[in-house]
Every structure is written in C-alpha cells, then in structure tokens.
Copies of this chain bind each other. A is one copy, B any other.
Amino acid sequence: MIVNMSEKATEQEINHIIERIREAGYQPHVTRGTERTIVAAVGSGRRHEIEALQVAPGVDNVVPIAQPFKLVSRQVRPERSIVRINGVEIGGPEVVVIAGPCSVESREQLLDTAHAVKRAGAAMLRGGAYKPRTSPYDFQGLGLEALKILSEARDVTGLPVVTEVMSTEDIDIICEHADMLQVGARNMQNFALLRRLATVNKPILLKRGPSATVKEWLLAAEYLLSGGNSQVVLCERGIKTFETEMRNTIDLAAIALARDLSHLPVIADPSHGTGKQSLIAAVSRAAVAVDADGLIIEVHPCPERALSDGPQSLDFAGFGRVMRALAEPLRRTASVPPTVPAASQNSP
C-alpha cells in the first residue's frame, strides 16, 4: 500500500500517517520528492486501516499494490486446477461442453434434450429448477419436481447435472439431486450464499456478475476457497454495457485474464453472453480459442415455445452445428501479398 501525501501536506500530517501505518502493523518507508512525499506501508498488516487513511488530513490518495485475493491466485498455486464432476474433468486438456434448457419445463422436454445434447457431444447437462427472473410474473421454475427430473436424466444419460441455487435454504435438497451447484450472475456477491456453499462438498460453478470486475469475481471465488471449498469453476457470461443490440457484452479477454491471475478453470456462457441464437457458434469458437476450459449452452426442443430464454436457445440441430463448428480449424492467415514486386530483395 502506498499513501500519497498532497503537495501541501505538513510535516505533522506526514508524521501522523507514519504512526498510523505502524499501528496497522506495517513498516512505513518514506520517499520525499521535490513536490510531494509518499509513504509506503511495507510488510503485512491490516489493509483496511491503510485504505481508510484516504481521508486523513494531508493525504491525496491511497494506492494498493498487491492483489487482494490469495487462495485463488496463481502466486499461491502456479499449476492449473482441475475440477472433477462425477467423471468429467473441467480444467484438463479438453473443452467440456455443458448443455441443456434454461428451465426444466417437463420430464419429456428435459429427457429429450438430455439425449440430444449427449448425442451431439455434450459432457454435462444443465437445467434450471429455481429460476431468478427479473419479473415476479415470469415463470419461476418447477423447484423440487425439476430436481427429480434432472436426477432421472443423469441416471439415463450418464451426464452429470448442474443447476442453480438461489437460496441457502435450497442447498441441501439441491445437493441431493445435482452434481454441481451454480451461483447465478445476480447472486455472485450474495455473500451469505457463498459462505454456505464454501462448506458444501460439491463443485461450484460461479458466474461473473453483470457489473463485476475480474477482481471482484475472483474475490467472490475467494469466499468459497477460504471457506473450505476449492472445487470452483468460473464462468464468464457477459457484462452490462451501453450496447443494446446484444443482451450482454461477453468479455472473452477476461477469460484469458482470469486464467492468468488464477489457477481455477474458466468456462464461457455464449447464450447469456450474446442473447442471440445466431451468434452462439462464432462466440463458442472464440471462447475456445481464448482458452476457455468449457462452454455452457442453452438448448431447447423448440426455442420459440421456451418458458424462458427462448431467443438465445438453440434447437437440437442448431446445437449440433455449434459442436461441429468447434472442430473446424481457424481461418488461415494471409501470406505476404504475392503481387508485390521488388519488395523481398531488401528485406534481411
């Protein structure tokens, strides 16, 4: 932490800061410039006490130096983590595709979808039982009935199941039926939920909040790891920006960044990330190119009749096309233009 004194700071104000840095458990190091003085807080003390000095007299601002997260960091664990869900490995050499409907709507709808996505190459099944909906008048999910249907689908297809948990009260029942628990984007900073999920023996899929920075996302994961659950997969699903043509702006570079900063696997959700059927294949390929460890994609037998997220859901044929697109090579880079004449002679 570095405390920048203002140009008009008095000697007394500088001394006050030096003293407060000692009180907070750090060692103060003073650098006196021609215009201003800076005081570094060295060692490890109580971070928030230095942060609060921002309002002490004579202080311009306080600048953090180190990253605030620890256990999720590659400094603590340089090798990549692998999260295992009932035989499926996320974070290993292969890309894991999770597919299924936004909401479980009926036994038939889910089983048909489960078989279809398995045939097309999906490794896991998704399906919402408890749905976070912007409006109280929208379909809120089938709850326990949906969990039972998911369980059955896993039994008949062998695909491990992930479903969203919205409340601490539902954790136990969901753990009985699902193989992985999802924390939705709007609950990324529901700390009560995170703290309870930290004590659960199930892997967690942690979606990035629509207005969360990468740092805040990693700190949400830190709640899980510091509480005892290190089976965490991060999921980029788009952030809110001024662009209205797509539902969200999917931040694919953040996948590369999160993998640089953290050892946790990171997957992408092109369905919520774009909100548009027609963009899913291209964005899925891009996510894999940027080294995502997996994809989670919404698939529905008949998107135009879906009770939720129809516009971004693929039908079975569409999902098949996406899976095939993932196997295609990248477009070739242009070689140097052949029409150019004497160009090559001068190049070393």
Contact = CB atoms under 8 A, between A and B. Distances in A.
A51 B310 contact: yes
Contact of A97 (B123, B245, B260, B333): B333
Contacts of A283: 252-253, 256, 290
Contacts of A31: 29, 31, 40, 42
Given A87-B340, A93-B331, 20 more contacts: A32-B42, A51-B310, A52-B304, A52-B311, A63-B63, A93-B332, A95-B333, A132-B191, A135-B219, A156-B347, A160-B347, A166-B190, A209-B211, A213-B243, A239-B241, A246-B253, A252-B286, A253-B282, A260-B279, A327-B333
A250 interface: yes
A147 interface: no
Interface string A149-172: 000001111111000001111100
A22 interface: no
Contact of A348 (B53, B115, B276): B115
Contact of A191 (B27, B89, B133): B133
Interface string A93-133: 11111000000000000000001001101110000001011
A341 B154 CA distance: 11
B244 A244 contact: yes
B166 A168 contact: no
Contact of A253 (B122, B189, B273, B311): B273
A121 B336 contact: yes
30 contacts: A2-B38, A29-B31, A34-B44, A38-B65, A52-B304, A52-B310, A54-B311, A63-B63, A68-B134, A86-B340, A87-B337, A89-B334, A94-B335, A121-B333, A123-B336, A134-B216, A136-B226, A158-B337, A158-B344, A166-B191, A167-B168, A213-B243, A214-B243, A239-B249, A243-B254, A246-B257, A253-B274, A256-B282, A257-B279, A286-B290
